[in-house]
Structure 1
Amino acid sequence: MNELCGTTLIHAYSRADRIHDGGLIDVSEPARQLGIIYPVAITSAVWIGAIQEIDGDKLFDIRTRGALSRCLSMLASVARNSTTNDHKLLFTVPLADKHGNIENVQLKAIIGPGDNLEAVITIMEPEED
């Protein structure tokens, strides 16, 4: 077992593990297309609740691309216009439900260290940690 600060590390659950297990959905490639240079992942709660209707195995179904693009565009805009060095950004995304009604969804992005201490962004619901 590894030694960490004088204690024995019993178990580690990495960001890569969480992506592999489906707790996080890696959206780094669509984010890069919008100018976000850091790896980006969205929690499964946000993905299911705000980005995608449950639609089988089609993670990037054509119907989800607009919502995902709006989410990432709003994040990029808020980050560009932020005047703080805070690692947490709150932002609102107008998304349509399956009936076409627009709902403003509040989200939170945390900029923090990834598995190798690189900068990564995680988008989540405001009450998630």
Structure 2
Amino acid sequence: MSEDEFEVVYSYTRKQAIEDGVLVDVTEQAQETGFKVPVAITANLYHRYIEPPDGLEGEGQSTTGRLHDVLLLTFLAAKDRWDGSMVEIEPLFVMGEGPRFEKVKCWAVIGPGDSGEPVLTIMLPEDY
């Protein structure tokens, strides 16, 4: 039986993942940073770390600023040590008063989009 003879039982596209909220499309902000491919962040990473914890939004922390920091770190790391498929970054997030910081391991992985085009996804290791 050849590869062409297999029937696809189910597929879940990147577009569907963005529509469902599993991925957050940040392509517009990523282009401002210098990315030339579509970029998404997993909802897990976005809601746990990109969105500031309660009480910090007005204390110099914003979703826009935190997203910019992650995109910039990813862009610089990719230029410096890209292995062809992924790069690891470890942004430091303010997570509470004092301030309390948390270093978070993230992966930026490039792969095929819904039409085979290159797309980048930034995620926590457990999201892979």
Q: Normalising by the residue count of structure 2, what TM-score does the alignment of the two structures yield? A: 0.85
Matched, 1:46 2:81: no
| SS of equivalent to 1:49 | helix
After TM superposition, the runs of 4+ consecutive aligned structure 1 residues lying more than 2 A away are none
Change (3 A) 1:53 1:76: same
Equivalent positions of 1:25-40 (< 5 A) are 25-40=24-39
- 1:79 corresponds to: 78
Q: Flag structure 1 segments of 5+ consecutive residues without an equivalent.
A: 56-61
What's the offset of the Cα at 1:127? 2.4
Cα distance in 1 for residues equivalent to 2:11 and 2:117: 17
Cα contact 2:53–2:96 (8 A) shared by 1: no
Q: Flag structure 2 segments of 5+ consecutive residues without an equivalent.
A: 55-60
Q: Normalising by the residue count of structure 1, what TM-score does the alignment of the two structures yield? A: 0.85
What's the offset of the Cα at 1:106? 0.8
Cα contact 2:53–2:95 (8 A) shared by 1: no
| SS of equivalent to 2:116 | coil
Q: Aligned AA for 2:4?
A: C
Matched, 1:97 2:95: yes
More helix by proportion, 1 or 2? 2
- 1:58 corresponds to: none
